[in-house]
Structure 1
Amino acid sequence: MATTDTQINTKAARGSLRFRRIKNSIFLSGLSVFAQLYLFQPVLPMLCKEFGVTPAQSSWAVSASTMGMAAGLFIFSFKADAVPRKHLMGGAMLVSAVLTLLSVFIRDFHLLIAVNFVKGAVLSGVTAVALAYLSEEVATTSLGLAISLYLSGNAIGGMAGRIVVMLIAGWANWRWAAGCIGATSLILGLFFTKRLPASKHFVAMPMNIGQKWQQMGVFFRQPVMVLVYFAASLLMGCFVSVYNYTGFRLESPPFSLPHYVIAGIFLMYTVGVLGTMVAGRLSDGIPPARVIRVFIPLMAAGLLLMLIPQLVALAAGLGIFTFSFFATHTLASRLISQEAKEGKSTATSLYWLFYYAGSSFIGTSTGVVLTGWGWSTFIAALLGLVLAGGSLVFRAGRRPVIE
């Protein structure tokens, strides 16, 4: 749909009441999604004991949610443009909160896995259209800030879904932790549906599967889109790998840290929030394709620091890597939302689909590298992936991007 001058002038600008409501609501949506998506990760040992499953089997409590997210994103890439943005996001937040609360009462592990898969699919309703909503409703001069706030909510939610859950579960049990996250998410969902402004620039398009396939084909023929999709897959896979396996490094010599200290590594997500804010503000004044070139080398530098067998160096490297990843993710998200002239929700759904595909495949594969060849080879493999992702980003940056 072509955007008229009148529509541009009515988009929410920084300082307006509409913009404040949008940024606050969209921040809370990211918080809710990622708190629920990863809430079982820190309590996997508890699931092993209660349900009598192996550690590998218990990991399905997390994997089912992310697999559901990927499946839902593919479905919503066809359906999302037919449903009002606010209705889809608000409904997804409320239904997912109910499913999280339901998991408190489940006594069968396989049923828990099934519910988590469905919950991940439902949560994808937020992820599929949040960036499209922002690009449609927020003025271009303020879009970077709005996107960075949404991704900051993702980062803080991901951190809360690990640290807060672990603390509550340690004090009580995992069911209390899930109940707290579910109840909080329900409150956030109710607040979201009340406060988020309805779309002004969205026009529902009836679902046409053939047309959607054609639209996807258009995106895959646009070099910038393809390059950013694959870069997101590689870089997210590196990020998940670092946070999956750094705990193993810290519990081994020369560090030999206790588990409650190791859990503190997830506090580095706060550095990621800073990365989204810095990148968002920079991209409001400088083309994101230029800004993103700064953060890829910083990701590599962070990984190199993590090779040094000193705790201060490893912590500093992890902080730099996390800051740079979230900044890169913010800028890549903006590139996709700006490049898609039509079908923005389809474009962003495909971005998230590649994002989670990289998370699943690379996050598991690099564990094999760590087990077989050790920490140095593991970091070297991640460096290779970062450089490969960086080369794709640099190629995308050399092509004309719609600003």
Structure 2
Amino acid sequence: MSEHSPLRLQLVVFALVAASFTNIYLTQPVLPVLQAEFVADTLLVSYTVAAVILGIALSNLPFGVLVDRLPIQPIILIGGIAVAIAGLICATTHNIWLLIGARFVQGLFIPALTTCLAAYLAKSLPIERLNVVMGSYVSATVVGGLGGRLLGGWIHPPLHWRYAFVSAAVLILIATFAALRILPSQPKATTTSLEQPRFLSLLKRWELVRIYLAAAGGFFIFSSVFNYLPFRLAAAPFSFSTELITLLYLVYVMGIFMGPLSGRISNRIGSGYTLMGGTLLLGVSITLTLLPYISAIILGLLGLCAGFFAVHAAAVGSLNRRLTGGQGRANALYVLFYYVGGWIGITASGFAYTQWGWQGVILICLLLLLLPFMAGIGEQRDASR
């Protein structure tokens, strides 16, 4: 590799991960627009987000195994092309079920560009370079999540949401082919350890399972609030335009700061207290969104992002501190629980919103706070022994 390749590697990792995450949330800010265009109910159009998250959850573990057996380049090539083609189908279809199906296909192949890339980097780079490059990876997930929302509901006019899929497809293809050129060759001698724990043995460890449940509960709440927020703000007493609603997603940048900050807080006071504190902040913040004032909504969303990323970062840190081996499989299970939690959240909160409105969404989210809070109690109890 050339002298200037470390920076190029960071940039290509950032571009590929950001472009991948951009595709996940493209339809979230324009759900009311899709509801009107396809003459569909709230729950059905919400599946245009939930289907992606379900696809990611289902294919994450298989791709995690696949990357141990095959070179990264063909995996990324197939993944990038599949996500782009499915995105172009989304841009042209006038059938809501085909839109949902194409979104599901996007979700199935996004781990080829994210989970596989992370596993490949962990095997290919020395630890001092890995930490720097993975910093770019984490920042890219936040930027991509925000970028998708802005692309779908602000950069392109909401009624032109189809062009957002075209733009996202072009971005993913550019990032894919750049990655194929710049990613270093995978070491030939990458034999997997015979001592790698099986997925089932990891799931028999309660101290790990409660962290997985904390991840599921946290993303359940985060996904639910942000997915049904456009309906809340498009209705009275706010009656906001899609562009204005989309701008509120800028609170998501809180994640760029809260991830590293939460790590430092956890080092100082412990993961258990950080999990409990983040959960309490989540509870107060989502309750604020019940108030009919935009100032309360903004404050609540800022607190929601801060609390969620605190819980997420503390849970990941606690998980990896408990592992003496099998980090790849243990983290793959974390991602599985995380996205399944998000999918269940969007689906269950869709029923709640249909039956009881915004209050129903917040009530079900408040109940799910038990998962990260109980995980925090368990972590703190173990740390005190």
TM-score range, shorter chain: 0.7 to 0.9
Greater mean alpha carbon deviation, residues 356-365 or residues 88-97: 88-97
Percent identity over the alignment? 27
The answer to whether the Cα contact below 8 Å between 1:298 and 1:320 also exists between their aligned partners in 2 is: yes
1:31 is aligned to: 18
In structure 2, what residue type is equivalent to 1:156?
A: V
1:262 is displaced (CA, Å) by: 2.1
Q: Secondary structure at the match of 2:151?
A: helix
1:349 is aligned to: 332
Greater mean alpha carbon deviation, residues 18-27 or residues 311-320: 18-27
2:362 is aligned to: 379
Q: Deviations over 1:248-301 (max 9, x none)?
A: 333444434344322222111112222224235666888656654543332233
The answer to whether the Cα contact below 8 Å between 1:106 and 1:112 also exists between their aligned partners in 2 is: yes
1:384 is displaced (CA, Å) by: 2.9
Count of aligned pairs = 381
The answer to whether the Cα contact below 8 Å between 1:147 and 1:334 also exists between their aligned partners in 2 is: no
1:272 correspondence with 2:255: yes
2:157 is aligned to: 170
1:369 correspondence with 2:345: no
1:165 is displaced (CA, Å) by: 1.9
1:8 is aligned to: none
The answer to whether the Cα contact below 8 Å between 2:43 and 2:350 also exists between their aligned partners in 1 is: no
Judged with a 3 Å threshold, the aligned counterparts in structure 2 of structure 1 residues 366 and 95 are, in CA distance, closer, same or farther, namely closer
Q: Distance in 2 between matches of 1:289 and 1:164?
A: 37
Q: Distance in 2 between matches of 1:340 and 1:87?
A: 30
Q: Give the TM-score normalised by the residue count of structure 2.
A: 0.82
Judged with a 3 Å threshold, the aligned counterparts in structure 2 of structure 1 residues 232 and 90 are, in CA distance, closer, same or farther, namely farther
Q: Which runs of 5+ in 1 are unaligned?
A: 1-15
Q: Distance in 1 between matches of 2:226 and 2:301?
A: 9
Judged with a 3 Å threshold, the aligned counterparts in structure 2 of structure 1 residues 279 and 30 are, in CA distance, closer, same or farther, namely farther
In structure 1, what residue type is equivalent to 2:308?
A: F
1:367 is displaced (CA, Å) by: 3.7
Judged with a 3 Å threshold, the aligned counterparts in structure 2 of structure 1 residues 17 and 280 are, in CA distance, closer, same or farther, namely farther
The answer to whether the Cα contact below 8 Å between 1:269 and 1:322 also exists between their aligned partners in 2 is: yes
1:5 is aligned to: none
Q: 1:76 is matched with which residue: 47, 60, 63? A: 63
In structure 2, what residue type is equivalent to 1:369?
A: A
The answer to whether the Cα contact below 8 Å between 2:215 and 2:334 also exists between their aligned partners in 1 is: yes
1:192 is displaced (CA, Å) by: 2.6
Q: 2:302 is matched with which residue: 319, 325, 334? A: 319
2:140 is aligned to: 153
Q: Give the TM-score normalised by the residue count of structure 1.
A: 0.78
1:51 is displaced (CA, Å) by: 5.3
1:261 correspondence with 2:248: no
2:293 is aligned to: 310
The answer to whether the Cα contact below 8 Å between 2:214 and 2:372 also exists between their aligned partners in 1 is: yes
1:97 correspondence with 2:84: yes
In structure 1, what residue type is equivalent to 2:106?
A: K
Q: Distance in 2 between matches of 1:133 and 1:398?
A: 35
2:180 is aligned to: 193
1:364 is displaced (CA, Å) by: 2.4
Judged with a 3 Å threshold, the aligned counterparts in structure 2 of structure 1 residues 78 and 135 are, in CA distance, closer, same or farther, namely closer
Q: Which runs of 5+ in 2 are unaligned?
A: none
Q: Distance in 2 between matches of 1:380 and 1:215?
A: 37
Greater mean alpha carbon deviation, residues 358-367 or residues 84-93: 84-93
In structure 2, what residue type is equivalent to 1:301?
A: V
In structure 1, what residue type is equivalent to 2:166?
A: G
The answer to whether the Cα contact below 8 Å between 1:81 and 1:345 also exists between their aligned partners in 2 is: no
